[in-house]
Amino acid sequence: MKTSLLAADARTKKRNAAEARFKAYGFAAIIVAMLALLILLTSVLGNGMSSFRQTYIALDVALPEEKLDKSGVRDLSVMSKVTTIGYAPILRNALLDALAAQGIETELSDKDIGNMISKEAAATVRNKVLANPDLVGQTVSFDVLASGRIDGYFKGRVTMESAALDGNTSPEALMIAQALADAGVIETKFNWNFFVWPDASDQRPEAAGLGVAILGSLYMMIVVLVLALPIGVASSIYLEEFAPKNRWTDLIEVNISNLAAVPSIVYGILGLAIFINFMEFNQSSPLVGGLVLTLMTLPTIIISTRAALKSVPPSIRDAALGVGASKMQSVFHHVLPLAAPGILTGTIIGLAQALGETAPLLLIGMVAFVREYPAAYTPDAGLFGEASTALPVQVFNWTQRSDPAFVERASGAIITLLVFLLIMNAVAIYLRRRFERRW
Amino acid sequence: MEDMYHADRAMSTQQDIKIKADKVQVYYADNHAIKDVDVEIADKTVTAFIGPSGCGKSTFLRCLNRMNDTIDICRVEGDITIDGEDIYDPKVDPVQLRAKVGMVFQKPNPFPKSIYDNVAYGPKIHGLARNKAELDEIVEKSLRKAALWNEAKDRLTAPGTGLSGGQQQRLCIARAIATAPEVLLMDEPCSALDPIATAQVEELIDELRQSYSVVIVTHSMQQAARVSQKTAFFHLGNLVEYDDTDKIFTNPEDSRTESYISGRIG
What pLDDT digit, counting tens, does each position of B59-91 carry?
Answer: 999 999 898 888 888 889 889 999 988 999 889
Candidate from B98, B105, B110 with C-beta closest to A324: B98
For residue A424, tell me if it sits in a domain. Answer: yes
Query: Domain check: are A238 and A184 in the same one?
Result: no
Same domain, residue pair A149 and A180: yes
Cβ A386 vs Cβ A360: under 8 Å: no
Same domain for A228 and A325?
yes
Q: What is the nearest CA distance from A240 to chain B, expressed in angstroms? A: 13
Q: Name the residue facing A326 among B65, B95, B172 (closest C-beta).
A: B95
Q: Are residues A177 and A249 both part of a single domain?
A: no
> Is B1 a residue whose pLDDT tops 60?
no
Residue A79 and residue A223 in one domain: no
What is the overall mean pLDDT for chain B? Answer: 87
Which class would CATH give B1-87+219-266? alpha beta
Q: Rounded to a whole number, what is the distance in Å from the CA of B19 to chain A's nearest CA?
A: 18
A222 and A103 co-located in one domain:
no
Q: How far apart are CA A76 and CA A55, in angstroms?
A: 31
Instruction: Clarify whether residues A260 and A322 are in a common domain.
Output: yes
pLDDT of residue B15: 65
Q: Looking at residue A223, what is its pLDDT?
A: 95
Give SS3 for B65: coil
Distance of CA A134 to the CA centre of its chain: 38
Cβ(A284)–Cβ(A356) below 8 Å: no
Report the Cα A260 to chain-centroid distance in Å. 24
- Nearest CA to CA, how far is A228 from chain B (Å)? 28
Among A157, A190, A223, the domain boundary falls at: A190
Residues 6+ away with beta carbon under 8 Å from A274: none
- Cβ contact (<8 Å) for B102 and A334? no
Mean pLDDT throughout B21-31? 89
pLDDT at B220: 86
Amino acid at B201: V
How many CA atoms does the CB half-sphere of B197 hold within 13 Å?
17
Contact check, Cβ <8 Å, A323/B65: no
Euclidean distance between CA atoms B56 and B36, whole angstroms: 12
The structural domain count of chain A equals 2
Determine how many CB atoms are found less than 10 A away from the CB of residue B238: 16
CA distance A240 to A258: 18
Beta strands in A72-218, from DSSP E residues, in sequence order: 139-145, 186-190
pLDDT value at B208 more than 90 = no
- The predicted model gives A233-245 an average pLDDT of 92
DSSP one-letter string for A269-319 = HHHIIIIIIIS-PPTT-HHHHHHHHHHHHHHHHHHHHHHHHHTS-HHHHHH
The closest alpha carbon to B239, from B50, B103, B42, belongs to B50
Our CA-based measurement puts residue A320 at a distance from the nearest CA of chain B, in whole angstroms, of 8
Which of B58, B100, B114, B125 to mutate: most A Cβ within 10 Å?
A: B125
State the pLDDT at residue A138: 86
Same domain (yes/no): A129, A253: no
Q: Does the distance separating the beta carbons of B161 and A317 come in below 8 Å?
A: no
Which pLDDT score is estimated for A379? 85
What SS3 class is residue B64?
coil
Average pLDDT value for residue range B239-261: 90
Average pLDDT over residues A426-433: 88
At B14, the pLDDT band (50, 70, 90 cuts) reads low
Burial of A157 (0-12, 13-18, 19+ CB in 10 A): middle
Instruction: Specify whether the CB–CB gap between B88 and B115 falls below 8 A.
Output: no
CB B160 within 8 A of CB B148: no
Statement: residue B9 has pLDDT above 80: no
CB pairs under 8 A between A and B: 67
B265 close contact with A: CB closer than 8 A: no
pLDDT of A366-391, one tens digit each? 888 888 888 888 888 888 988 899 99
Residue B28 sits at the chain A interface (C-beta within 8 Å): no
In 10 A of CB A7, how many CB atoms?
A: 8
Q: How close is the nearest chain B Cα to the Cα of A431, in Å?
A: 18
CB contact under 8 A, B161 and A320: no
| Whether A345 and A295 share a structural domain | yes
Q: What is the pLDDT of residue B2?
A: 47
CB contact under 8 A, A323 and B98: yes
Local structure of residue B44 (DSSP, 8 states): T
Q: What is the pLDDT of residues A32-52, one digit of tens each?
A: 999 999 999 999 999 888 899
Global pTM value: 0.83
Q: Please indicate, yes or no, whether residues A235 and A373 belong to a single structural domain of this protein.
A: yes
Q: Cβ distance A383 to A376 under 8 Å?
A: yes
3-state SS record for A377-410: EECCCEECCCCCCCHHHHHHHHHCCCCCHHHHHH
CA B19 from chain centre, in angstroms, equals: 13
Query: What does chain A come to in residues?
Result: 439
| DSSP per residue, B183-247 | EEEEESTTTTS-HHHHHHHHHHHHHHTTTSEEEEE-S-HHHHHHH-SEEEEEETTEEEEEEEHHH
Do A316 and B111 make contact, defined as CB atoms within 8 angstroms?
yes
Q: What would the mean pLDDT of B108-133 be, rounded to a whole number?
A: 91
How many angstroms separate the CA of residue B205 from the nearest CA in chain A? 18
Instruction: Tell me which chain A residue has its CA closest to the CA of residue B62.
Output: A322
Q: Which domain holds residue A119?
A: 53-190
Q: What is the pLDDT of residues A119-170, one digit of tens each?
A: 889 888 998 888 888 888 888 898 999 998 999 999 888 888 888 888 888 8
Closest partner CB to B107 (pick from A315, A323, A334):
A315
Confidence of residue A362 (pLDDT cuts 50, 70, 90): very high
Does B110 contact chain A (CB < 8 Å)?
yes
Q: Which residues of B touch A339 (CB under 8 A)?
A: none
Residue pLDDT, tens place only, A63-99: 888 888 877 788 888 888 888 888 888 999 999 988 8
Query: What sign does the dihedral A316-A319-A322-A324 (CA atoms) show?
Result: negative
Question: In the predicted model, what is the mean pLDDT of residues A174-200?
Answer: 90
Domain with CATH 3.40.50.300 in chain B: 1-87+219-266
Could you tell me the CA-to-CA distances from B86 to A245, A394, B27, B101 in Å, in that order? 28, 69, 19, 14
Whole-number mean pLDDT of chain A? 90
Q: Which of A322, A324, A326 is the closest to B105 by Cβ?
A: A322
DSSP codes joined into one string, A63-115? --HHHH-TTSS--HHHHTTS-HHHHHHHHHHHHHHHHHHHT----S-HHHHHT
Any domain includes A36: no
pLDDT of A1 > 80? The answer is no
**B196 or A22, higher pLDDT:** A22
Please indicate, yes or no, whether residues A294 and A150 belong to a single structural domain of this protein: no
Q: State the Cα–Cα distance between residues A35 and A43, nearest whole angstrom.
A: 12
Question: Roughly how many angstroms between the first and final C-alpha of chain B, as a whole number?
Answer: 25
pLDDT at B95 over 80: yes
Amino acid at B149: W
* Confidence class for position A439, pLDDT limits 50, 70, 90: very low
Whether the CB of B102 is below 8 Å from some CB of chain A: the reply is yes
pLDDT tens per residue across span A342-358: 999 899 989 999 999 99
CATH for A269: 1.10.3720.10
Residues of A in contact with B172 (CB under 8 A): 319
Strands B183-187 and B213-217: parallel
CA distances to A62, A64, A128, B4 from A70, in Å: 16, 10, 18, 113
Single out the residue of B112, B107, B104, B93 nearest to residue B175, CA to CA.
Answer: B104
Q: Indicate whether A167 and A97 sit together in one domain.
A: yes
Contact with chain A for residue B183, Cβ under 8 A: no
Q: Is residue B129's pLDDT more than 90?
A: no
CA distance between the termini of chain A:
53
Establish if A259 belongs to a structural domain: yes
